[in-house]
């Protein structure tokens, strides 16, 4: 049996911290998740981020001591159980699932290990965490909340899908299929949690200029179509949450392109994707 490895850092909660709304960001130790963590911090939230890499966590603890960190491999059942126990101490109002694992483009078929990990991070851990978090939000938020202007301040579950998940075609990659399943799952949770006044928002992003995407492209991802900055992605995501959108697809240019592709006859689309992806 694998030994659980969860490590907690900077998790002491002062009374000042306790009075702030709390957001948990799964996959918040780098890229878009970290950018969202910094944005919430600037808006006065208490932040807890989760990631598996001890190097990233150590760096983050030094650079951002006001962000609490939890080290956990969310694909490991034991570690995930311990993570849930740790997080139960937080009466969080928002959980954002940013964790993901992707490759540059599909060049060939995945080996057994990569295939299992792809499914585990992008779909199985997401489902387990959404199932647990929705129960937590029901417990933590028994009363309707309003802000000073009387507007609803419902708790929310948010997940980062991909524009790849918005197109339905037979030749889709495992990553795209996981992200597509995420969109459908989030939609079911949204309906199921409506009577509990819990919002569910799914974000389908086009290319975002993160370090991971750059690393997969020899240090430069600027050739990716309609690539956007992390700051632009964060603004879109925050607005989608504030507007309580079921599915936010951006940037607009990518949305139009994928809509057109989705209307293309499947046989043609399949052929195009074969030519485009199998390099």
Which positions lie near ligand NAP, rule CB under 6 A?
27-33, 50-53, 56, 72-75, 98-102, 121, 160, 162, 205, 207-208, 210, 212-213
Nearer to ligand NAP, 84 or 101 (CB): 101
We find the least distance from the C-beta atom of residue 160 to ligand NAP, in angstroms, to be 4
**Least Å from the CB of residue 209 to ligand NAP:** 7
**Is the Cβ of residue 105 or residue 246 nearer to ligand NAP in the bound state?**
105
The CA distance from 160 to 241, in Å, is 12
Our CB check for ligand NAP shows the closer of 104 and 151 to be 104
CB of 46 to ligand NAP, least distance (A): 18
In a 3-state reduction of DSSP, which class is residue 177? Answer: helix
By the 8 A CB rule, do 237 and 248 touch?
Answer: yes
Token pair of 139 as six digits: 């417990």
DSSP letters for 234-260? HHHHHHHHHTT-SEEEESHHHHHHHHH
According to DSSP, the β-strands at 46-51 and 67-71 are parallel
**Which C-beta is closer to ligand NAP: that of 193 or that of 205?**
205
CB of 164 or CB of 273, closer to ligand NAP: 164
Using DSSP's 3-state secondary structure scheme, residue 55 falls into helix
Can you list the pairs that 110-118 forms with residues at least 24 positions away whose Cβ atoms lie under 8 Å? 110/174, 115/174, 117/75, 118/174, 118/175, 118/178
**From the CB of 88, what's the least distance to ligand NAP, in Å?**
18
**Residue 33: how many CB atoms within 10 A of its CB?**
22
CB of 87 to ligand NAP, least distance (A): 13
């Amino acid at each position: 049996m694998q030994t659980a490895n969860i490590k907690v850092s900077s998790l002491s909660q002062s009374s000042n911290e306790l009075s702030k709304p709390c957001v948990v960001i799964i996959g918040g130790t780098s890229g878009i998740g970290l950018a969202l963590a910094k944005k919430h911090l600037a808006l006065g939230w208490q932040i807890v981020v989760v990631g598996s890499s001890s190097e990233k966590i150590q760096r983050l603890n030094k650079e951002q001591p006001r962000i609490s960190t939890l080290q956990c491999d969310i694909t490991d059942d034991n570690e995930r159980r311990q993570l849930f126990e740790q997080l139960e101490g937080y009466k969080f109002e928002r959980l954002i699932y940013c964790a993901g694992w992707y490759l540059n483009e599909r060049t060939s078929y995945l080996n057994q290990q990569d295939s299992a990990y792809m499914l585990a991070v992008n779909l199985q851990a997401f489902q387990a965490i959404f199932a647990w978090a929705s129960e937590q939000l029901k417990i933590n938020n028994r009363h309707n909340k309003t802000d000073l202007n009387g507007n609803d301040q419902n708790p929310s579950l948010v997940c980062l899908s991909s524009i790849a998940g918005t197109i339905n075609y037979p030749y889709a990659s495992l990553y795209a299929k996981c992200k597509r399943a995420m969109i459908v799952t989030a939609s079911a949770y949204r309906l199921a949690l409506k009577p509990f006044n819990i919002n569910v928002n799914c974000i389908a992003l086009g290319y975002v200029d993160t370090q991971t995407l750059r690393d997969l492209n020899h240090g430069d991802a600027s050739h990716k179509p309609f690539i956007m900055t992390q700051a632009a992605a964060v603004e879109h995501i925050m607005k989608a949450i504030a507007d309580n959108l079921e599915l936010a697809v951006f940037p607009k240019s990518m949305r139009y392109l994928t809509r057109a592709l989705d209307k293309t006859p499947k046989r043609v689309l399949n052929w195009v994707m074969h030519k485009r992806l199998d390099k």
